[in-house]
Amino acid sequence: IKLADRLDLVPVGWIFSHPDVRHEQEDALPVFGLDVKIGATLQIANMKSRGRLDGKPFATLAMDGNTGATEAFQLSDVSVQMVHEGMIVVDSSTNQREVPTKHAIFINGKETKTLDSVLCLVNTAMLSHEGAYAGSSATSSVKKNGSLTNKTKKTLLGLLDDDRLLLQELCDFNTLLALDQLLPTEDSESLCESVKKWARGQKQGTQIDPRVKLQLRSVLET
């Protein structure tokens, strides 16, 4: 979130993976009770941070852990309010499609203390696109632990004398996130400011502070 703020990016949702056993039944649903609770909690935090109107658009993406197939949803206003009031009672040990509620609720005129999570969801369409910080490489710039790969380090080291090529290579959120763990805060902020200008098309005159480049060389050579 801190790095996203530096790049003027805002949270628009969250994504989680699940085992494909959720799709074994014909009317299966990839979003269970705990997912509703987590998504709503994140949306509430986003609304508090950005304001009610700006923070409300918040998507929940469910990805099949085996196939990569992903579905998008938005949580209904009622379900978010229920989570805010502590009405949904669920944890990792009781995570299932049927969501227990703290008090009885009315659904279709009937009183119940169990809520089908499908009633918490609104189907949402997704469009593919390439973001400004998606990176240009076909392979990931970081390892599974989030640190830079040796290949990425060598590539960045080789571009330190050419700001234009270096800035283009740094338009990769994963790379910037890994560097943020290595650089002093002031240098990371300066680097993000230069990358942000470049990504927005302000290529003329955009350079990386020489002091930051020295720090980059130091951390990339270790």
137-182 pLDDT, tens digit per residue, is 768 899 999 999 999 999 999 999 999 999 999 999 999 999 999 9
Residue 95's pLDDT is: 81
Q: How far is the C-alpha of 123 from the C-alpha of 117, rounded, in Å?
A: 13
2: three-class secondary structure by DSSP: helix
In this structure, what are the phi and psi dihedrals at residue 95, rounded to the nearest 5 degrees?
Answer: -75, 115
Q: How many CB atoms lie within 10 A of CB 56?
A: 15
The residues with which 99 forms a beta bridge, in sequence order, are 115
Radius of gyration of the chain (CA): 22
Strand 59-64 to strand 98-107: parallel, antiparallel, or no bridges (unpaired)?
A: unpaired
Whether 183 and 215 have beta carbons less than 8 Å apart is answered as yes
Q: Which of 14-18, 69-73, 95-99, 105-109 has the lowest mean pLDDT?
A: 95-99
Indicate the pTM of the whole model.
0.76
Residue 154: C-alpha distances to residues 61, 147, 177, 184, 193 (Å): 34, 14, 17, 21, 23
* 25-50: b (≥16 Cβ within 10 Å) or e: eeeebbbbbbbbbebbebbbebbeee
Rounded to an integer, what distance in angstroms lies between the CA atom of residue 39 and that of residue 74? Answer: 9
**In the 8-state DSSP scheme, what is residue 147?**
P
* Residues of the chain above pLDDT 90, percent: 73
